[in-house]
Structures are given as C-alpha cells and as structure tokens.
Amino acid sequence: MAFLSQALSIALLIIGFGFVIFWHELGHFLAAKWVGIKVEQFAVGMGHALISFRKGIGVKLGNTKNEYEKRITTYLDEKHKSELQLQEKIEYSDLQKSKAAEALGLGETEYRLSWIPIGGYVKMLGQDDMRPGADAEDPRAFNKKSIPKRMLVVSAGVIMNIILAAILFMVLFVMGFHAPAPVVGQVIANSPAQEAKLQPGDTILDFDGTVMHDWTKVSLNTALASDEHPIHIRVRHIDGTEGFVDVKPVKPEGASKAFLEMGVYPAYALHGIKPNDWPAEPENPDLESEGFRTIRPGDVITHINGVAVRPSDLFTPGDPGDYYKLIDAVQKSKGKPVELTIKRNDGKVETVSLQPHFQSPFGETPFNIAGIQPRMRVTMLSSTKSPVLGKMKPGDVIESIEVRNANPPASQPGDRAPDVSVTGFIKTVGEAGEKDQTLDFVVLRDGKHVDVKGIKASIKVGKDRNNNDRKGVGIAPGFEDQSPVIAAVIDKSPAANVTDKLFTGSLITAVDGKPVKTWFDVREALESAASHKLTLLPPNADKPIERTLTLSEADVKSIQQIRLALPPMMLGEEIIIRKTGNVATALGWGVQETRDLILQFYVTLQRMFGGSVSASNLMGPIGIVGAGTKFAFKGNDWLLWFLAMISANLAVVNFLPIPIVDGGLFLFLIIEKIQGKPLSRRAQEYAQIVGLALILSVFLMVTYNDIVRMFQ
C-alpha cells in the first residue's frame, strides 16, 4: 500500500512538472495568437515528436511536418504549372504557403508531445532562439510585429507562470497546508539564538515585520538574511506575552558553503511519526542510535517525569504544544535519565527512561568544559560499508588510537594518538585515510577493554576546509559523559592555563573536595567564577594529584550555556494548518506567497554574488527531481507547494537578462526600441553563444552539485 502511494506521488510529480512547463508555453502560444503571429509548433517536451496533431491531418505518430509541406507544395505546384515548365523548382514564400494551408483547410500549428519530457517550446514564424535575427516576409511573422506586441509574447510565459503559482497556492490554502509550526523546539549552545535569549516554546510571529506563517518561512528567511544586520524578531512566549529579540544569523565556522543560521530547531509533537514514514528495521541494529525507535507510529507521550503533558500537534495561535516541556526537563535533568510515560498504539501504557547527553555546540568550536574535552563515544555506525561494522558498538568509548603505516608487520608498533576527543578522533582518522595508514583502536565496552585492529579509513564523510575529500570509518560521534576522563585540552583556555598542566587520560575524581562521578557533576561544580581545586588521578598513577583551575565570568557563562539533548527519536512534526474557506482570502495569500518567492529568488542571487550564499547550494534537474520526490511523499499539499514554488522560480529564471531565455530576448527588444533598429545579426549571434555557454556552464555546475549531494 505504501509503495502504491509513493508511486502515485511520483506520477503526480511528473505530471505536475509537465503541466508547469505546458502552462509556460501556453502563455507564449496564446499571446502569439492574440497579436496575430503565425505559430508553427506548440511542443511539450524536447527532441523528436512522439505524437502530434494538426488540423486537417489529425493525430499522427511522429510529426506532421512532412505531410503538411507535401500537401502545400503539391497544391502550389498545381497552381503554378506554367512557371514550373520554365524552371525546375519554385521557392514559395511563407505568405504563399500560409494562404495555401488556409485554402486546404490545414491548421498552421502542429501540437506535439516530444519524447524527452523536459521543457517545451513555441515555434513562431520569424523567431528562432538558435538563429537570432531570423526574418520572414509574411506579415504574420514575429519579426513583422511591433515591439510592444513582441514584448508581450516574450513575457507571456513568465506572466503565466506567476499566475499559475498564485493559483496553485490559492488551491493549497483552500485545501489546507500542513506545515511545520513556526515554534522554536531546541536552541543550540553558543548559537546566535541562545545569545539573543530565544527560548524553546517561543512562537516566531514575524521577521522585521514579515509574517512567518510556518517553519519553512523561518528557515528560508534566515538563510537569506543579511550577514551585516540582525533580524528583528517578534515572538510570542509560552505565557502568551509578546516581545522582540534581535538575532544576527551567521555561518557556522568552517562551513563556507552553508547558509546563514540562527542555531535553532523546530518543535516536534509528543507522538510518533506517520506509519508511512516509519523506516524499515536495519539489518544491523548498530546502525541506529539508542532510543531511536522508542516512539512508534500511534504512540503518544502522556507524561514527562510523572508530569502530564498535552500531545496534540494541532494548535491555534498562542498554543505551541508541550514539546518545550520535554526540552526543559532534559536541561534540568543534570544528566540523570528522563522518564517518559507512553501510551502505545494498542492502548498499553509503558514508562521508559532515556539518558541525556551533551549537545554539540553551534559552529566549529568543539564541545568542552572550561577547555577540557571528554573522550569520544560511539553514538551509532553511520554506514553499512563501515570497516568497524560488527567490531564497534553504540556506546563504545574510544580509549586509544594507534596509527600504523600501510600493511605493517603485526609486531611493528604504531604511533599512539594522544587525543581521543571527538575532534582528535576525526583529525587522526582523517589523516590516516589520506596516507592510507592502518588504525588500531582500544574501546571501553561494559567495563572491558576491547581491541579493534587493522582498520582503514575508507568512508567519504564530506569535505575539509580546503574542499578536499575527508575520509572516516563510518561512526556517528558523541561525548562520553559518564566518566570525567580528560581526552584533550583546548589551547588558550582556562584548562590550558593550569600550572603544571592537566594530563590527558587523567580521571577527575573531585572538584573543591567534593567527589564527582560524571562530566555532568563536573559542569555543575564549575558553575561559579572562582579558582577551583581539581583532584585528578593520572593514568597509571597510584596517587591523586591536585591542580587549580581559575575561571572568569565569561568562562562561567560559557559553561552555563552548555545544553543537553536526548538521543534522536522519531517524533512527528508540530504542525500548523494554514487554511481558509474564503477563496478571495486564499488568492490573496497565494499572491503574497508568489511575490515572496520571487523576491527571495532575487535575494538569493544577490547573496550569492555577495558571497553569503554559496553557488554549491543551487540545484539542477537531478536535485529538483529528488527534492520534488521527497515533497510528494509528504502529501498532496506539499506536492502542490513544491510545484507552485517551481512555477514561480521558473518565471524568474526565464526572465533573467541572459540571451537565449525570455529575459534576454526582452532585453534585445528594449535595445531595439532605444536605438530604433535591432542589434546586428552578428551581435545577436555572439550574445546567443555567450548565453548558451553560460546556461550550459550553470547546468553542468548544478548537475555536479546534485551528484555530489547524492553521495554525501
């Protein structure tokens, strides 16, 4: 059943794409007919005709051109018998051919469906994109019409796409758009949102006066915000009061290709995802993190730590749901398990405990407490091709890494990497992958030391700062927070300034004489600006040692900003339905959405040329189809939203002042109007070549981006 639903969604996506293109070309066609231009072909798709229709000939496999021309030539030859006796062949004019077709009752336009289901075109007499300056003597030719009429014909496709987008949005809002609510779920540590004191449960009402109807608008407007000025955000707090916060989005450090971000995630509902979205069980359970399937379709969280919560995912303004209570409980847990009471789909009630962990901070600065980094914990194995599949398990703690040259003798010792923090692990494994070196690990599992030897970093895990491929072993990293062992010390941090230094591998046993057992205890003990006495047990030492750690108010603030998170669960989205029964209101919303999308596209181009948005984020045909498929699976409303967005964007792309697209042709007409004559044929041809080269270059670039994204 799910397969049939997905197949239907893909079919609707393909039909929808075709309709958007058809609608664009229909605009050119209707405008041409209206101003009296002879239209020779109206094609949906590219390449040779699969099937075609022409009045007087009917439906035919392939094209009707040959038969059309044969009938006309036969008719004209019959009329000009005497002239044919004097010469072998007569070249008939376009006007003669048009009159002959009219006399024979033949339609001037061939309607064709071409075999490549991408694009389409309208071929008018006297106009040829690939032969600029094309000319015809027929008074109904494109080149014989006035400049205003030609401008109307050239711009009609864009106008129709804008109209279509507005209509699709109108239909969407009448049927109801189920969109993620503009409610803050989680705030990331050290992020601009945390600095601005944006809180979980806050409903984002507007950005600089522009209403944020749903989270898609929040995400898009954040990504396209200015990197020079903060966004003035109006929010409604969970107590119903309203206020303003100023957030300046930034790119995460080291992420040159990323969009601007605030450092927030949307809110989720306290129930499971839809049954159709439930993923199949992996062949190896180590490919999923702990607690991932805690909440299943139909399950509802009714209590958090014994306190009743409301699980509904539909809300009215001022009622953002209770997801924020889950986030609040995690932050107040001090690292202790959070209890969830779950009403299962079959009616049974069950209580489960989930262990919070430290959340990765925003940007490139690694997680640390006063400059001290914990050891790395294996959250899950992230690839079926991982060389440690079956050798490492979720929950394993990396105790040591040894790097050997390629194919070393078994007895040859390697170089021990002292840093087993997350950043140290990534750096060591990445460098070993570049040099084709072998890695030996020792992991701590259930209190026992386990050897994992002879591992090669063979999994592509992204790019480094220099855009070079970075290799790994297919592990999703986390922080070992249950035992306060020092894995590494960050330079220029309070921990780096400790006299006699802190030895990596040392276990912190007490802070200011008070015993600590976990990193959560250490964090709590250091939440004051003072000199703290750390009691440490270095590796292989019999006696503890003491070191003094001095913290400033800024250091304490950094520690207080640390946030916790539960392992990922498959919770449903917190949804808001944007719907109206008033068609006029829906049309007004549709016009606004279309306008906003068009403006956002131009802002994207501006940000791209300004450097705040990377061209690598652009999508080509492969990416658009992939994204469209995902939207189609989300439901018919999202499919409609996606097609409306494509229609609006197609209007913008087609009207860019680039030769070979509608905007370039419009520009030629403006120049012709200003100087009183068209550009020379040679100038137009050169411009077309440049435009074609630019279009092809962009096509190759975005296709490359799509392929790279597929394998990341």
Tokens of 323: 């997801």
Same domain, residue pair 160 and 187: no
Where does the pLDDT of residue 221 fall: very low under 50, low under 70, confident under 90, or very high at 90 and above?
Answer: confident
Q: Are strands 459-463 and 469-472 parallel, antiparallel or unpaired?
A: antiparallel
| Single-letter code of the amino acid located at 217 | K
Whether residues 253 and 320 fall in one domain? yes
Instruction: Give me the mean pLDDT over the 6-31 stretch.
Output: 81
Choosing from 523, 544, 578, the residue where a domain stops is 578
Tell me: do 574 and 588 sit in the same domain.
Answer: no
For the segment 215-235, the average pLDDT, to the nearest whole number, is 87
Token digits of residue 332: 């107040």
On whether residue 635 sits in a domain, the answer given is yes
Give whole-number Cα distances, 359 to 17, 267, 292, 375, 565, in Å.
41, 16, 16, 14, 5
Give CA–CA dist 581/176, Å, rounded. 9
Question: H or E element: which one contains 48?
Answer: strand 39-54
Q: Is 313 exposed, middle or buried (0-12, 13-18, 19+ CB in 10 A)?
A: buried
Do residue 407 and residue 515 come from a single domain? yes
| Sign for the pseudo-dihedral over CA of 235, 236, 237, 241 | positive
Least confident of 137-151, 196-210, 469-483: 137-151
pLDDT recorded at residue 190: 92
- Quick check: is 49 in a domain? no
Same domain, 569 and 587: no
Domain end point (choices 515, 543, 578): 578
Q: Is residue 169 domain-shared with residue 187, that is, in the same domain?
A: no
Residue 573: strand pairing partners: 268
Mean pLDDT (whole number) for 596-603: 80
**Cβ atoms 524, 336 nearer than 8 A:** no
Q: Tell me: the pLDDT tens digits for 535-585?
A: 999 988 889 999 999 999 999 999 999 999 999 999 988 888 888 889 999
359 touches 564 (CB < 8 A): yes
Burial class (CB in 10 A: 0-12, 13-18, 19+), 156: buried
Q: How confident is the model at residue 128 (pLDDT cuts 50, 70, 90)?
A: low
Q: Are residues 164 and 208 in the same domain?
A: no
The CATH number of residue 379's host domain is: 2.30.42.10
The CA distances from residue 663 to 153, 161, 302, 473, in Å, are: 12, 14, 57, 49
pLDDT confidence of 711, banded at 50, 70, 90? very low
pLDDT band with cut points at 50, 70 and 90 for residue 706: very low
Going across the sheet that includes 58-61, the strands are 58-61, 39-54, 110-124
Residue 212: inside a domain: yes
pLDDT-derived band at 118 (thresholds 50, 70, 90) equals low
Tokens 């300046």 sit on residue? 248
Please state, in angstroms and rounded to a whole number, the distance separating the CA atoms of residues 472 and 433: 7
Residues 313 and 420 in one domain: no
* Statement to judge: residues 587 and 703 lie in one domain: yes
Rounded to the nearest 5°, which phi and psi values hold at 451? -85, 135
Secondary structure E strands in 55-108? 58-61
Q: Does residue 593 carry a catalytic annotation?
A: no
Q: Give the pLDDT score at 487.
A: 95
Of 660, 683, 654, the closest CA to residue 129 belongs to 660
In a domain, 31, yes or no: no
Question: Out of 128-137, 154-163, 701-710, which region has the weakest mean confidence (pLDDT)?
Answer: 701-710
Burial string for 34-58 (b: 16+ CB within 10 Å, else e) reads ebebbbbbbbbbeeebbebbbeebe
List pLDDT tens digits, range 270-283: 999 988 888 888 88
Where does residue 193 rank: exposed (0-12), middle (13-18), buried (19+ CB within 10 A)? buried
Q: With a cut of 50, say whether residue 1 has pLDDT above it.
A: no
The mean per-residue pLDDT over the stretch 263-271 comes to 92
Domain that holds residue 400: 368-553
* 167 plus 224 within the same structural domain: no
Same domain for 488 and 447?
yes
Q: Spell out the residues 6+ positions from residue 103 whose beta carbon is closer than 8 angstroms to its own.
A: 75
Q: What is the pLDDT of residues 390-401, one digit of tens each?
A: 999 999 999 999
Task: Supply 477's token pair.
Answer: 């990293």
For residue 633 the two structure tokens come to 């699976």
Q: Tell me the pLDDT tens digit for each residue of 294-324.
A: 999 999 999 999 999 987 654 455 566 799 9
Q: Is 442 part of a structural domain of the chain?
A: yes
Res. 257: pLDDT tops 60: no
Is 277 domain-assigned? Answer: yes
Q: pLDDT confidence of 683, banded at 50, 70, 90? A: confident
Tokens of 229: 């000025």
Q: Which helix (H) or strand (E) holds 479?
A: strand 475-479
Residue 127 within a domain = no
**Please, what is the average pLDDT of the chain?**
84
The rounded distance, in Å, linking the Cα atoms of 269 and 326 is 10
Domain count, the chain: 3
Q: Give the integer Cα–Cα distance in Å for 329 and 339.
A: 10
394 plus 530 within the same structural domain: yes
Does residue 66 lie within any of the structural domains?
no
Which pLDDT band holds residue 613 (cuts at 50, 70, 90)?
low
Task: Average the pLDDT over 593-620 and give the result.
Answer: 69
Contact criterion met (CB below 8 Å) for 272 and 313: no
* Catalytic option among 25, 110, 399, 573: 25
Q: DSSP code of 183?
A: B
Q: What is the pLDDT at residue 710?
A: 45
